[in-house]
Chain A
Amino acid sequence: DAKTTQPPSMDCAEGRAANLPCNHSTISGNEYVYWYRQIHSQGPQYIIHGLKNNETNEMASLIITEDRKSSTLILPHATLRDTAVYYCIVRVAQGAQKLVFGQGTRLTINP
């Protein structure tokens, strides 16, 4: 699986959009970008995934650059409950695949 690079920490004001970047310059053509988050004392939680098109669901939006070497997870209106560690993971989608977590980005939402 391709390696990802994320900033170790970020801050965002409550109610503002939180934009979390991820670099994955060695991504292969059949690899998807997945995002998970882990709230303190809980297991990781799936957020969203995409291949090359931008994706949106009830939790977040995922913007993938045209060359697929980087992506941004957007939480449009961050709340205090969005404070967590966010992991960007690159992997093939087909078949059951283990997740390879990096260090992630610790996002703190400030009141």
Chain B
Amino acid sequence: QSVLTQPPSASGTPGQRVTISCSGSSSDIARNPVNWYQQIPGTAPKLLIYSNNQRPSGIPDRFSGSKSATSASLAISGLQSEDEADYYCATWDDSLNVYIFGIGTRVTVL
């Protein structure tokens, strides 16, 4: 089954900008909107970005998303200590009729 490729880890100092990539294919990211989730270990995932670049109410504008062709990315600007978490991209795969998650990226604030 297909999976979205993310870097396993990313880090930055407070105030820095961190970008997480999410690589897919012509049957998933290219055709469908991408959501991004933040997960603090031990808790349920929380939606950060939907439909590639939209923020739900209550999500700070430090978080932004983008998509181009078969890839998507999440940017966190003005990194804060509370941003330490795991981040997952997710989308639907039309050819397999499956919903797929990225492998997850652990963000560390140095």
Determine if chain A interacts with chain B. Answer: no
